[in-house]
Chain A
Amino acid sequence: MIPVRSPEEQALSTMLEDVTAGIDLDEDMLTRVMREGRRRRLRTRAAGTALLAGSVALAGVVVVQSAWNRDEDTSVATPELTATPEPSPSAAVPDPAMQAAFETTRAALAALLAVNVSRYQEEQFHLALDHRTGNAILYLPHTGTIDPAEMGPVDVDQLAADAVETAQATPGAAPVVPVVGVALIDELDAVSVQLFQTRADWASDPHDVYWTYPDPEEVSVTVGVAALSTAADLPSTMQLASGATATIRSEVSAAGGPQPGGPTPGPEPG
């Protein structure tokens, strides 16, 4: 359906077209994009080789990973389709044994997490705890298969499977559940967006909520408020679509003042 615009709106459309009329595609930029794309694939392959060698030395015994299910139908939605998680005020704080198992898992997967070389959060491995089940949720950086013919396949899935085996062979580690097709930062972004959009529902005064900020390193969303009492009704945790639990924090902030690290006023879709 063609939108109906007023004469003023039509004039604005014309002005915007005129403003950008002299802009064409930059061939150099396209070359850089193609080079960067190929470089990432090479880098991932190199990291995979290094981790595979480390995993073999660590694990010793190969255990079949039953939790590693490659059935696409059971995978979490792709990032752009991630459902906005519902608040879960009842999400439990992990008990010490659960937390200890998770830390053991994190240590067992240190080699995997160390290959996070991309500057983009959604292209990194992340580990988060499901506070309800005690499972460690392992987010994979890529979806689908990347198989450059000239270089050989870059099998991120195999990389993760090896890491899962390593964790399973580690005494005291929590079960690892790989998540395919969604990035932790996207899930946290969704929560961040939801919190900001629904601030009228939970804040004592929605005007005193200045920003929300997702942090994949800490698996948290921080809310910038005028006073801590503004967010007194916020749940302390929220369940993500993949099962992991995000911690919700409040932070006193200056009005509209972005904080170091990049929190942003307003929602940030995917």
Chain B
Amino acid sequence: MERSTSQSFEEWARADGVQLRRAALLLTGNAHDADDLVQDTLVRVFAKWPRVRTMENRGGYARRVLINRHLSLGRRLQRLRARQNLMMGGDPAAEAPRDAAIDAQADLRRALLTLGPRQRAVVVLRYYLDLPDAQVAEILNCSPATVRSQAHRALATLRNSVEIGAYNQEQGR
């Protein structure tokens, strides 16, 4: 029983863990906190795996845990570190860019850190994970209208720092 439980969790983690780790990087702004967040999330999912494994949407459950942990335990610390990174230049994204695309990506990562935790979560869930507003709202325990308004405000904030609209054109997409 234990072996099959562990094996099925490991199989799932290998399939969905990459996306969780990428989302965590966007949420936290640095690799160290992102790994802490993902590890914390995976341990929690593993702890409840006998129940989670029976769910249809295990990935959705894990994403919800990830966002909740991001919004609760690490929020103050992440904000503090984000500010420190911005002030001290500790953010890897603040290192010298190599070309325009990387420059824009670094700008985006810095700009994400200026958003509040919930707005950042909306950006990640809506634009990175491409979830519909209803699912984002469910995860964040708010209304779809709130998701849209938060996304609108987040975009406006990001727009001040990053030329988002020109990115695809510059990349030939």
A pairs with B: yes
Which residues in window 131-163 of A have CB below 8 A to B? 142-151
CB distance from A258 to the nearest CB of B (A): 5
| Interface residue? A218 (CB, 8 A) | no
Partner of A270, one of B68, B118, B124, B164: B68
What is the total number of residues of chain A having a CB less than 8 Å from a CB of chain B? 55
Partner of B167, one of A11, A142, A197: A11
CB-based nearest B residue for A153: B1
| Interface residue? B155 (CB, 8 A) | yes
Q: How far is the CA of A10 from the CA of B132 in the complex (A)?
A: 14
**Dominant SS among interface residues on chain B:** helix
| Interface residue? B81 (CB, 8 A) | no
Contact with B along A3-40 (1 / 0, CB 8 A): 10101111111111111100111100110111011101
The 30 sampled A-B contact pairs (Cβ below 8 Å) are: A5-B127, A8-B155, A8-B159, A12-B123, A12-B164, A13-B127, A15-B162, A15-B164, A16-B26, A18-B101, A19-B25, A19-B26, A19-B108, A19-B109, A20-B22, A20-B25, A20-B26, A20-B128, A23-B22, A25-B18, A29-B42, A33-B46, A34-B6, A78-B51, A145-B50, A197-B141, A262-B76, A266-B116, A267-B142, A268-B71
Besides A1-B132, A8-B164, A29-B38, 13 more A-B contacts (Cβ < 8 Å) are A11-B166, A15-B104, A23-B21, A24-B21, A37-B9, A78-B51, A142-B47, A144-B50, A148-B5, A150-B2, A197-B141, A268-B71, A270-B68
Q: Which residues of B contact A (CB under 8 A)?
A: 1-3, 5-6, 9-10, 13-14, 17-18, 21-23, 25-26, 35, 38-39, 42-44, 46-51, 61, 64, 67-68, 71-73, 75-76, 101, 104-105, 108-109, 116-118, 123-124, 126-128, 130-133, 139-142, 155, 158-159, 162, 164-168, 171, 173
